[in-house]
Amino acid sequence: MKKRGRIKIHKIKTWQLVLILIPLLIVDATLLRLDHIRMTELRDAVLAADVAEKDEEVTRTLNELKEFVFSNIVINVVDNNGKQEISFGTGPFYLEHQYLRAANAALDEAKEKFSNDNNPNGNIYAAASAVCQPQAIANGWTWNNANFINCMMTEINKYPSADNLQSDIIASLPSTELYRKEYSSPLWAPTLSGFMIAITIMIIVVIFIRLIIWIILRLSLLFI
Residue pLDDT, tens place only, 34-58: 999 999 999 999 999 999 888 899 9
Is-above-0.85 flag for pTM?
no
- Got the DSSP string for 143-178? GGGTHHHHHHHHHHTTSTT-HHHHHHHHHHSPPGGG
> Residue 168: which pLDDT band, with cuts at 50, 70 and 90?
low
pLDDT at 224 (0 to 100): 63
Domain boundaries along the sequence of the chain: 2-92+182-222, 103-179
Measuring CA to CA, which residue among 112, 128, 125, 127 is closest to residue 165?
125
**Tens digits of residue pLDDT in 112-152:** 665 554 555 556 667 777 788 788 778 876 544 567 777 87
What does the pLDDT read at residue 131?
82
| Helix residue ranges, H only, the chain | 2-11, 14-51, 55-71, 96-114, 120-139, 147-156, 163-172, 192-222
| Low-confidence winner among 16-25, 113-122, 162-171, 179-188 (lowest mean pLDDT) | 113-122
Lowest mean pLDDT among 8-22, 62-76, 160-174, 184-198: 160-174
Banded pLDDT at 103 (limits 50, 70, 90): confident
* Mean pLDDT on 58-79: 93
| C-alpha to C-alpha distance for 184 and 196, rounded to whole angstroms | 21
Which pairing describes strands 180-181 and 75-80: parallel, antiparallel, or unpaired? unpaired
